[in-house]
Amino acid sequence: MARKRNEWLDWLKALIIAGLLAFFVRMFLFTPIVVDGPSMLPTLEDGDHMIVNKFTYFVGEPERFDIVIFHATAKKDFIKRVIGLPGEHVEVRDESLYIDGGKVEEPFLDKKKEELDENDVYTFDFTLEDLPGNYSEIPPDHVLVLGDNRSNSTDSRLLGLIPYDQIVGEAAVLYWPLDRFRFIN
């Protein structure tokens, strides 16, 4: 009888430890997310299931072109691409991105831009000063984010700059649907 009781206690301890470990991993390291909407097309599609690496920004800062998840509202997280970093001035002019006056290539948009007709506009011109907050450069601990589907994205052009403390983490793995499985970089 005592042996059976000890076996149950061992199982209970194992389940509690597993539960605590799962809680720790989800709270501080990784969490799943489902892409909601078309704002990251063609890179990510509505309904894609991903794993978010929450640990990355505990030890480092966002880098240009990282795909990040952030708290847009108290109840809604958004997924966008980091375009501008602290201390930079950002401008889009004639479908080209300029950081501190220098043109920066966005290879993830090349295919979509090739599909445009001569008179189509994929990214409307803007400068950092046009965004909410009227900044002349991105302040410390903030980033400018844009969706890859520039004509259909609620991003920094409407939300303003995103503080680091609102960033949940970086998109790490697209795991569903299986035919689209890949590591995000």
pLDDT (tens, 9 = 90+) of the chain, 185 residues, equals: 667 777 887 788 788 877 777 666 666 567 888 888 889 888 888 999 999 998 888 888 999 999 999 998 888 899 999 999 999 999 999 888 999 999 999 988 887 777 777 777 788 889 999 998 889 999 999 999 999 998 888 899 999 999 999 999 999 889 998 898 888 87
Judge whether 151 counts as a catalytic residue: no
* Domain segments of the chain as ranges: 30-183
DSSP 50-97: EEEESSHHHHS---TT-EEEEESSSS-EEEEEEEE-TT--EEEETTEE
Q: Which fold has domain 30-183?
A: Umud Fragment, subunit A (2.10.109)
Please tell me which residue in 4, 13, 39, 136 is annotated as part of the active site.
Answer: 39
In the chain, the largest separation of any two C-alpha atoms, in whole Å, equals 82
Is omega for the bond preceding 132 within 30 degrees of 0, making it cis? no
Judge whether 39 counts as a catalytic residue: yes
Conformation bin of residue 47: beta by default, left when phi > 0, alpha when psi is -120 to 50: left
Is omega for the bond preceding 177 within 30 degrees of 0, making it cis? yes
Cβ atoms 90, 99 nearer than 8 A? yes
Please tell me which residue in 54, 80, 153, 156 is annotated as part of the active site.
Answer: 80
Q: In 74-86, which positions are buried (b, 16+ CB within 10 angstroms) versus exposed (e)?
A: eeebbbbbbbbbb
Global pTM reads 0.82
Report the DSSP pairing between strands 102-104 and 49-53.
unpaired
